[in-house]
Amino acid sequence: MLLHIKNVLDSHRLETVRMLLKDADFVDGKLSAGKEASRVKNNQELSPQSQLHQQLNQIVMTSLVQNEEYQAAALPLKVATAFYARYKKGMTYGFHVDDPVMGPMNARYRTDVSTTVFLNGKDDYEGGELVIRTPYGEHILKPDAGDAVVYPSGSWHKVAEVTKGERIVAVTWAQSMVKDPKQRELLYELGKARDTLIDKSPEAEETGVISTTHINLLRMWSEV
């Protein structure tokens, strides 16, 4: 499932994040890439030694994991702290698939769901589109600042070359309670139908049936 979530970060939080990153120490993004991805990766990332990570995550990651749409789509069990990436003119990240397992040896997690949170406006740069291959063709996305794009980590995807300006994003991954992306999508769609029925007809028999079905499918498919 490919999902565009609007307004994960409001304008006040975005301004704070941009101020924190304005004079931050960025390093070559290849340092965090796997063997295959490093061949096509050309960006910069906030230094792992930067003292800003905690402040940024408190704003960006807290807003993301508390977002109801994200929770419903990702069904997160474990969520990684974000990488804060910067793309200047000429930088790009060619087609790749995210590593299946990430994290230090004592805190490994499976990457089921990838998320990009856009931290500056789409008019601040040219190019830099997020391109994701799906069974229905390529999707080209360039959302507004504060929006997030959520997609299966096994999808081939790239960042088109930035031809002007600067693109700033936060990227994170989640191990989902439900490993299968098709099952997650079914639960997401069923959950939306359940919420609509609860709002419109909370006492109706079909509302109870849909709600119970959703609950029991999550119980059946979850790996918690």
Do residues 129 and 141 lie in contact, with contact meaning Cβ atoms separated by under 8 Å?
yes
Structure confidence at residue 119 (pLDDT): 98
CA gap 33, 40 in Å, rounded: 10
The pTM for the full model equals 0.95
Strand partners, 131: 140, 158
CA gap 29, 23 in Å, rounded: 17
User: Which residues are CB-contacts of 194 (< 8 A; sequence separation ≥ 6)?
Assistant: 207, 210, 211, 214
pLDDT-derived band at 7 (thresholds 50, 70, 90) equals very high
Mean model confidence pLDDT for the chain = 96
CA gap 34, 32 in Å, rounded: 7
CA gap 100, 122 in Å, rounded: 30
CA gap 9, 15 in Å, rounded: 10
Percent of the chain at pLDDT exceeding 70: 100
Count other Cβ atoms within 10 Å, centred on residue 31: 12
Mean local confidence (pLDDT), 205-219? 97
Give the tens place of pLDDT for each residue, 61-104: 999 999 999 999 999 999 999 999 999 999 999 999 999 999 99
CA gap 217, 210 in Å, rounded: 11
Among 111, 112, 116, 105, which residue's Cα sits nearest to residue 82? 116
Structure confidence at residue 84 (pLDDT): 98
Give the tens place of pLDDT for each residue, 18-52: 999 999 999 999 988 777 778 999 999 999 999 99
Percent of the chain at pLDDT exceeding 90: 94
Do residues 145 and 119 lie in contact, with contact meaning Cβ atoms separated by under 8 Å?
yes
| Distance set, CA 1 to CA 102, 106, 155, 165, 185 (Å) | 21, 30, 10, 30, 6
Structure confidence at residue 89 (pLDDT): 98
CA angle, residues 26, 30, 90, in degrees to nearest 5: 75
Structure confidence at residue 131 (pLDDT): 98
Using the predicted structure, report yes or no on whether residue 13 has a pLDDT greater than 90. Answer: yes
Write out the E strands in 135-207. Answer: 137-141, 148-152, 157-159, 162-165, 167-176
Structure confidence at residue 224 (pLDDT): 86
Mean local confidence (pLDDT), 177-204? 97
Structure confidence at residue 149 (pLDDT): 98
Q: For tokens 């139908």, name the residue.
A: 193
Give the tens place of pLDDT for each residue, 124-144: 999 999 999 999 899 999 999
Report how far apart the first and last C-alpha atoms of the chain are (Å, whole number): 21
Structure confidence at residue 2 (pLDDT): 96
Structure confidence at residue 37 (pLDDT): 79
